[in-house]
Amino acid sequence: MDRRFPCALAPILLLSAVAAAPAGAGTGEPGICRPDRPIRRIVIERVPVFDLEDDGGHLRGLYRAANLLHRPMQTRAATIRSLLTIREGEPCSREALEEAERVLRSYIFVQDAWVTPAGIEDGGVVVRVRVQDAWSTRVRLSARRQGGASKTAFGLREVNLFGTGSQLQWTSSRDQDRSETVFTFLDPALGPTKWRLLARYGDNSDGLTRELSVGRPFYELDGRWEFLIDADSAAREEKVYVGGEIADRWRVRRNRARVSFGWSPRGLEGSRLRRWYLRAGVREESWTPAAGAAPARPDLAPLDRDQLWLGAGREWFDIDFRRVSLIDTGRRVEDLDLSRRVAIGIEFGAGRGEAAGGGTLILEARDGFQTGRDAYLLLGARHRVERLGSRFVDAETELRARYVQKPSPLTALNLDLQAFRGSALEGPRRRLMGGDTGLRGYPSRAFSGDRALLLRAEFRYFAPWSVGKLFRLGAVAFAELGGAWDRGHRLGAEVLHPDVGIGLRAYVKPSSGGTTLHLNAAYPLHREVAGRHFGLQVSFLAARSF
């Protein structure tokens, strides 16, 4: 399916430049995979972290030693088979093989994956599944600084425990809000089943966090049902910001539990997909001033909740994925989601006190278009409003737009727009803007309000060479304009603040999750705002995008 955005709008965004064709995955021998032929056999081929079939150069010995160290954690063939969305005996189709490859690539312990037809056997198709491991064992010792805010962390993490795909993690961290120690266990597929288990326990300086979830998700597009049970409990401190400064501190105790069932009566029909959901749960929240004194901004005080609720939802999809390369990561293939999705969810609650009666409505929509050769436009919108007793609270509307173009095989241009409008927001739900939320030339949480806007243009360059099999380097240049403000202020230079900057990137090729190291230097063009002085902001962090 080739859905194109109307050509008349393309010049408004950017004059398209000639670009090279995006990278595609191997399709195996042409003509083999057809719906009238079943998948006769699936052959699993495991590739170590460093593939030495090609020349490893003068570091070949180092790569071989790393593969040897990783061998106890190399993904088992049984694990790969349990995560596949294709099965022996099913009709073979190009779309099914592409989905299987795409799903495998999405797992954090997979560096790359290939699912291709390899030949004919007894009138059916032999499918080869080739999976390359990522380095899965992490000793985390990090110091992250972004927008003037620092975060330090130390931890141990294994994302492919003995090759089963399970994750086990211990992390101790400290940031501007709290220090915490967190233990996490995640199994994406219990044994040979499609059931998923998540358990998390956190001990924080301002409380604790506990979470348990078990369920069987829609693990493939053609999945017919999902079931989920989850519960979490937390006690922590939340801050309310006004004018970039802390106005109040609140302690919250939160207990939630939910059961959800989803089904798709017809599954995937061509590119179209429909899903229904039924949900039920309990929600308890209690808020008290952290200092014990009356809040400075009682109009922004969060509300208590004690509710039993029932909900229903519906989703409509028109599936469209494109294979691209060197847009958001340094990976061989990226899966750009241009799918159309429309969703509606509604909840009805019965409770006590301020939460007696009420409900929540959520509307979501997104779509993607190809506007030209190697040029794409992605649009999204979300609206949420909650009713507690006789009043409406936390009405939120979000709009997003992203335009991506590849002027050349080694460059990418990203234009982003994010807009937010809130009404009757509780204090902790107010929008923050600063160095850690997209406006890199200003300190963390420099601006706050019930309105927010961010415009960003970023040009990315990917170096044509790598540092052995370890890093792919690159650079970025960006300009941003954004801010957050309260209702009553006019949109203009008073609330929108520009910055410009440059950055270096190092994509860690064998890393789990596609880690990219960022070093940014951003300069604020508004040096003084409301009596506050700003200067050059330098940030260093690890992220999953370029």
* Residue-wise pLDDT tens digits, 84-128: 999 999 999 999 999 999 999 999 999 999 999 999 999 999 999
Residue 246 contacts by C-beta under 8 Å, 6 or more apart in sequence?
239, 240
Query: Per-residue confidence at 465, pLDDT binned at 50, 70, 90?
Result: confident
- Assigned token pair, 187: 């199994």
pLDDT, tens only, 383-416: 999 998 888 999 999 999 999 999 999 999 999 9
Q: What is the pLDDT of residues 172-209, one digit of tens each?
A: 988 878 889 999 999 998 877 889 999 999 998 888 99
State the average pLDDT for the chain.
89
Rounded to an integer, the average pLDDT of 42-56 is 88
Whole-number pLDDT of residue 20: 34
CA–chain centroid gap for 88, Å, is 32
Q: Where are the beta strands (DSSP E) in 301-339?
A: 305-318, 321-324, 334-337
- 319 backbone φψ class: left, alpha, beta (φ>0; ψ -120 to 50): beta
Tokens (6 digits) for 188: 């994406």
Q: What span, in angstroms and rounded, lies between the C-alpha atoms of 333 and 508?
A: 15
pLDDT tier, 479 (very low <50, low <70, confident <90, very high otherwise)? very high
Q: Which range is least confidently modeled, 211-215, 311-315, 443-447?
A: 443-447
Provide DSSP, 345-379.
EEEEEEESGGGSSEEEEEEEEEEEEEEETTEEEEE
Query: Comparing 148 with 205, which gets the higher pLDDT?
Result: 205
Helix, strand, or coil (residue 185): strand
Helices (H) and strands (E) in the chain, counts: 4, 29
Pairwise CA distance, residues 488 & 399, whole Å: 20
Average pLDDT for 450-468: 95
Q: How confident is the model at residue 6 (pLDDT cuts 50, 70, 90)?
A: very low
CATH homologous superfamily of 23-133: membrane protein fhac (3.10.20.310)
Q: Is 162 helix (H, G, I), strand (E, B) or coil?
A: helix
pLDDT at residue 460 is higher than 60:
yes
What is the predicted pLDDT for the residue at 216? 96
What global pTM score does this model have? 0.88
Neighbour tally for 55: CB within 10 Å: 7
Distance from C-alpha of 503 to C-alpha of 522, rounded to nearest angstrom: 8
pLDDT of residue 19: 32
Structure tokens belonging to residue 85: 């969305």
d(CA 402, CA 430): 24
